[in-house]
Amino acid sequence: MEASQLLRQGGCTDVAARSAWLVPESSPEGGAWTARRGTSLGGTAGIRPQIMNGPLHPRPLVALLDGRDCTVEMPILKDLATVAFCDAQSTQEIHEKVLNEAVGAMMYHTITLTREDLEKFKALRVIVRIGSGYDNVDIKAAGELGIAVCNIPSAAVEETADSTICHILNLYRRNTWLYQALREGTRVQSVEQIREVASGAARIRGETLGLIGFGRTGQAVAVRAKAFGFSVIFYDPYLQDGIERSLGVQRVYTLQDLLYQSDCVSLHCNLNEHNHHLINDFTIKQPLRTRQTPRPAAIHCPLPRGSLLQTPMRQGAFLVNAARGGLVDEKALAQALKEGRIRGAALDVHESEPFRQGPLKDAPNLICTPHTAWYSEQASLEMREAAATEIRRAITGEPSAALAASDPDTRQASWAWLREDFLQPWKGSSLEASR
């Protein structure tokens, strides 16, 4: 049976590359919407026609690219659009009708859309990422093709913050490893045996937690961490001054200062081409101070690009990443864990997903979870409702509530100087020795 017949009859089945169609009931009048010049889409030279809907126009087609369940989205969109689900992991698995006719797309983090992929969509006007991150979409290419990209910036803030704190507590109190020891039959009877099996457990009060990125999730983590006795510092070059006073935390103005002061570093920033492998072999292997070395006075002004950068991650520090896998060079992290330069790490996100261990296979003192820090039934429901609402806004001509930023060049000055090539002129100099 042809897909067009399925659409007319309201059928629901897998078509070609695992695509299925769910057909709503009516076709009321509606408005139109498209990307506009001057938005944060990074340019719209390839701007496409508006989304036309109403009784005189075909019903717009909206596709869920990498999922099968549309039961939440359908009630929100059924009076305006036809909704298809594709359950695809690449554009090669997406039905031709979606590529040719879909004006809206919703997607999770399990599919990636490059420029080449985006060019396959002939009618696409808007993509909504069901989640906060959008590094799996080529934002610049989308803007040039006239495709708006939206995210759900408030997605799963509570869940991600809770999961981050769980990871931090696990690293400090070693509950995961203690449980494993008991499962393996380790007998813990004497005080000496307790000391041995719980070696590495540390007191939290008085430790410094450094947050890289201080948006919704970073702030939620800070509030929770303070309740456990952490001193909280953060680095975020895009926030205005003042937020630190309202939350009772300390702001540092250079990333190297945060790394230098923190006993535990937690990542809460988006991924872009300038902060890829923010935690890397070069950063970790700088001459390190020990946990007993006094902290320096905080640096209260950013260093200019090209100046000497002290980026020593504190020896014996913990690392937590529930943001984006590409922020951490996993090969460098594995080596640092084996050498004891990083005391322990907890990762919910990974460079390659689904997680296949790779260089982290034999790394000690490591906790890994499968990109689930965001999940709860409530969070999933809220994200899906918000994504469908954004699609509805696009179809009815309302302004988007969450256009994704698409000009990574504006971020370069704040992140790029961590790369080793910016430090090369200082190698062997007196400034290098001053560290």
> What pLDDT shows up at residue 300?
36
Token digits of residue 332? 């460098």
State how far the Cα of 224 lies from the Cα of 236, in Å rounded to an integer: 19
pLDDT per position as a tens digit, 208-220: 999 999 999 999 9
pLDDT band at 303 (very low <50, low <70, confident <90, very high): very low
Share of the chain above pLDDT 90, in %: 64
Give bridge partners of residue 267 from the DSSP assignment: 212, 321
**324 has catalytic annotation:** yes
pLDDT per position as a tens digit, 338-357: 999 999 999 999 998 888 87
State how far the Cα of 286 lies from the Cα of 416, in Å rounded to an integer: 17
- The answer, yes or no, to whether residue 308 has pLDDT greater than 70, is no
Task: Catalytic residue, from 268, 371, 393, 419: name it.
Answer: 371
Least confident of 24-28, 45-49, 290-294: 24-28
Least confident of 27-31, 253-257, 341-345: 27-31
Domains plus CATH for the chain? Answer: 3-155+378-412 (3.40.50.720), 157-375 (3.40.50.720)
DSSP three-state, residue 317: strand
Please give the average per-residue pLDDT across 183-199, as a whole number. Answer: 92
- The answer, yes or no, to whether residue 381 has pLDDT greater than 90, is yes
> What pLDDT shows up at residue 250?
98
pLDDT per position as a tens digit, 223-238: 999 999 999 999 999 9
Of 122, 48, 50, 154, residue with least CA distance to 387: 154
- The answer, yes or no, to whether residue 421 has pLDDT greater than 80, is no
Task: Catalytic residue, from 339, 353, 398, 420: name it.
Answer: 353
Q: Dump the DSSP string for 184-219.
A: TT----SHHHHHHHTTT----TT-EEEEE--SHHHH
State how far the Cα of 79 lies from the Cα of 61, in Å rounded to an integer: 12
> What pLDDT shows up at residue 2?
39
**57 has catalytic annotation:** no
**CB-count exposure of residue 72 (10 Å: 0-12, 13-18, 19+):** middle
pLDDT band at 46 (very low <50, low <70, confident <90, very high): low
The answer for residues whose C-beta is within 8 angstroms of residue 1's C-beta and 6 or more apart is 11, 13
pLDDT per position as a tens digit, 84-136: 999 998 999 999 999 999 999 999 999 999 999 999 999 999 999 999 989 99
| 8 A C-beta contact, residue 130 and residue 152 | yes
pLDDT, averaged across the chain: 80
- Sign of torsion over alpha carbons 231, 236, 241, 247: negative
Please give the average per-residue pLDDT across 356-367, as a whole number. Answer: 91
**300 has catalytic annotation:** no
- The answer, yes or no, to whether residue 266 has pLDDT greater than 80, is yes
pTM here? 0.78
> What pLDDT shows up at residue 179?
94
The answer for residues whose C-beta is within 8 angstroms of residue 401's C-beta and 6 or more apart is 150, 390, 393
Task: Catalytic residue, from 109, 174, 216, 324: name it.
Answer: 324
> What pLDDT shows up at residue 155?
87
> What pLDDT shows up at residue 309?
41
Please give the average per-residue pLDDT across 300-309, as a whole number. Answer: 35
pLDDT per position as a tens digit, 127-174: 999 999 899 999 999 999 999 999 999 989 999 999 999 999 999 999
> What pLDDT shows up at residue 58?
76
- The answer, yes or no, to whether residue 184 has pLDDT greater than 90, is yes
State how far the Cα of 324 lies from the Cα of 273, in Å rounded to an integer: 12
Token digits of residue 266? 């937690």
DSSP three-state, residue 271: coil
> What pLDDT shows up at residue 192?
93
pLDDT band at 49 (very low <50, low <70, confident <90, very high): low
Q: List the strands of the sheet with 102-107, edge to edge.
A: 20-22, 82-85, 61-64, 102-107, 126-129, 148-150
